[in-house]
Amino acid sequence: MKKIKVGVIGVGNMGRHHTRVYSELEETELVVIADINREQALKISEEYNCNYYQDYETMINKEKLDAVSIAVPSSFHKTIAIKCMNKGINVLIEKPIALTLSDAEEIINVSKEKKVKLMVGHIERFNPVIDKVKKLIETGMFGKPIIISSTRVGVFPKQITDINVLLDLAVHEIDIIGYLFNNNVKHVFSEAIIGEDGREEAAQLLLNYDHNRIGIIQTNWLTPVKKRKISINCTKGYLEADYISQEITSYTLLPKETPKTYSQFLDYKSEEQIIRLKHVEPLKLEILDFYDSIINDKEPFVNGDDGINALKIALAAVESIKQKKRISLDENNKTNNAN
């Protein structure tokens, strides 16, 4: 098996997990990390027995790398990704791809020009529950999905200072709902609670898709416990999945008998099935897909277009909050004037 030589830029909260996974996988050789915080770089390099740099540019000039993960604050994604790609290095960039559409477009253009792989870290695409839910929907036994509702809440991430909760958390759900619906958003409406620092710290999003389908996202940094759940109402059934426990509960058609007694009434539900999947770390699957895309010259499962798509919708939601009205997107998910 061909191993690829990898580095990680930014080894804070998320980058340390990229580092760990690269060090664990047989397919990848963790060569080096870079972090402007020397203490952090030293600590992680000792933990994973690799070289370290404070300056990522020196790192990419001196080391021969096939690929890097970029897990620095989102406002630095563009500059660092472009510098790496210009050196011919394949890039796995954390979400959101960038802060603006023009920056995201630039990243995508350079990846095409330099013919390097560009993957965006929409990690939940690699969550086994999402793969299973997608397959269950595709069997047709639940009918067509019409309403997808998700909750992604948790504690305030004090290290994130450059983005709001929509770009931090809602982008995950925007990407997944779009993936499950296989469809483009037509309109976005959102309301938010603005924190003391002026950023949206809680938001509800209402996404209207083609064919009268609806996505609902509840997200915040205000809940003292991490909850990540998604439910899919279909024309002939209902699915509920927990991203964390990787458990799915499915319900098919309602029983024909109407409840007569109180206990029958309490129990009145359709056939319930609980599916407990073998727990797999999504980041491991994400990095293996990145590896596969490099080795077999394939498009990564989540590419730059997916990254920009999620960003467009999240930015339209932020615009909706500002303008206090629904924002329309055209068939390419480009934001039009509000209506």
Ligand X SMILES: NC(=O)c1ccc[n+]([C@@H]2O[C@H](COP(=O)([O-])OP(=O)(O)OC[C@H]3O[C@@H](n4cnc5c(N)ncnc54)[C@H](O)[C@@H]3O)[C@@H](O)[C@H]2O)c1
Which residues in this chain contact ligand X in the complex, by CB under 6 A? 9-15, 34-37, 40, 56, 71-74, 76, 94-95, 121, 123, 159-160, 168
Residue found under tokens 């604050």: 73
Is there a contact between 140 and 178 (Cβ–Cβ < 8 Å)? Answer: no
C-beta of 137 vs 302, nearer to ligand X: 302
Cα–Cα distance for residue pair 2/38, rounded to 1 Å: 32
Given the DSSP bridges, would you call strands 213-220 and 200-209 parallel, antiparallel or unpaired? Answer: antiparallel
Is there a contact between 271 and 257 (Cβ–Cβ < 8 Å)? Answer: no
Residues facing 53 on adjacent strands: 34
Q: Report in angstroms how near the CB of residue 308 gets to ligand X at its nearest.
A: 15
Phi and psi at residue 54, to the nearest 5°: -90, -30
Q: Report in angstroms how near the CB of residue 34 gets to ligand X at its nearest.
A: 5
With 0-12 CB in 10 A as exposed, 13-18 as middle and 19+ as buried, what is 181?
A: buried
Q: Report in angstroms how near the CB of residue 162 gets to ligand X at its nearest.
A: 8
C-beta of 4 vs 165, nearer to ligand X: 165
Query: E strands, 138-271, where?
Result: 145-153, 185-194, 200-209, 213-220, 227-234, 237-242, 247-251
C-beta of 95 vs 187, nearer to ligand X: 95
C-beta of 73 vs 195, nearer to ligand X: 73
Q: Report in angstroms how near the CB of residue 260 gets to ligand X at its nearest.
A: 48
C-beta of 163 vs 207, nearer to ligand X: 163
C-beta of 70 vs 185, nearer to ligand X: 70
Which residue number is nearest to ligand X in terms of Cβ? Answer: 12
Q: Report in angstroms how near the CB of residue 297 gets to ligand X at its nearest.
A: 25
Is there a contact between 57 and 85 (Cβ–Cβ < 8 Å)? Answer: no
Cα radius of gyration rounded to whole Å, the chain:
21
Cα–Cα distance for residue pair 31/3, rounded to 1 Å: 11
C-beta of 22 vs 56, nearer to ligand X: 56
Q: Report in angstroms how near the CB of residue 54 gets to ligand X at its nearest.
A: 8
Contacts of 298 (CB under 8 A, 6+ apart): 292
Q: Report in angstroms how near the CB of residue 77 gets to ligand X at its nearest.
A: 6
Instruction: For residue 27, give the amino acid letter.
Output: E
Is there a contact between 206 and 214 (Cβ–Cβ < 8 Å)? Answer: yes
Length of the chain: 339
C-beta of 104 vs 160, nearer to ligand X: 160
Q: Report in angstroms how near the CB of residue 316 gets to ligand X at its nearest.
A: 19
